[in-house]
């Protein structure tokens, strides 16, 4: 694989199905991945599998319908990888890319409920 995403941090919601596949793909492309899921134990387990392959990935609990949980996930990504977050490419229950600093919470709430 090419490392087209080297130096990027990507937050993925979902530790199964599409989210799991995206996390693996982003990691193979060189991104540091933060994987969140309502099943926090599953997110940690998948992240450990990805990290064991030599990639950079951490997993944690995420409730995609709870603003505080999303903020905690973004804060974890920022503090762990010392970056500023530009966008979150996937969110559970939504196909919309979210720019947390630019989207009012009322907008993403209407797309996830």
Spatial distance between the Cα atoms of 93 and 11, rounded to a whole number of angstroms: 15
- Partners of 98 in the beta sheet? 88
Q: Which residues contact 31 (CB under 8 A, 6 or more apart)?
A: 5, 6, 8, 9, 10, 56
Stated pTM of the model: 0.74
What are the CB-based long-range contacts (under 8 Å, 24+) for 95-103? 100/70, 100/71, 100/74
DSSP 98: B
Residue 100 covered by a domain: yes
Averages of pLDDT over runs of 10 residues in the chain (113 residues) are 83 88 93 94 96 96 90 89 60 46 54 50
How many domains does the structure of the chain reveal? Answer: 1
Residue 37 covered by a domain: yes
Residue 3 covered by a domain: no
CATH number, domain of 63, equals: 3.40.50.720
């Amino acid at each position: 694989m090419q490392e087209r995403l080297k130096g990027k941090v990507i937050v993925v919601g979902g530790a199964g199905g599409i989210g799991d596949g995206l996390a693996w793909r982003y990691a193979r492309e060189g991104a540091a991945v933060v994987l969140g899921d309502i099943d926090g134990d599953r997110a940690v387990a998948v992240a450990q599998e990805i990290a064991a392959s030599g990639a950079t990935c951490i997993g944690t609990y995420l409730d995609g319908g709870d603003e505080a949980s999303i903020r905690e996930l973004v804060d974890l990504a920022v503090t762990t990888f010392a970056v500023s977050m530009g966008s979150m490419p996937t969110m559970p229950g939504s196909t919309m890319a979210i720019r947390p600093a630019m989207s009012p919470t009322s907008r993403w709430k209407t797309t996830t409920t």
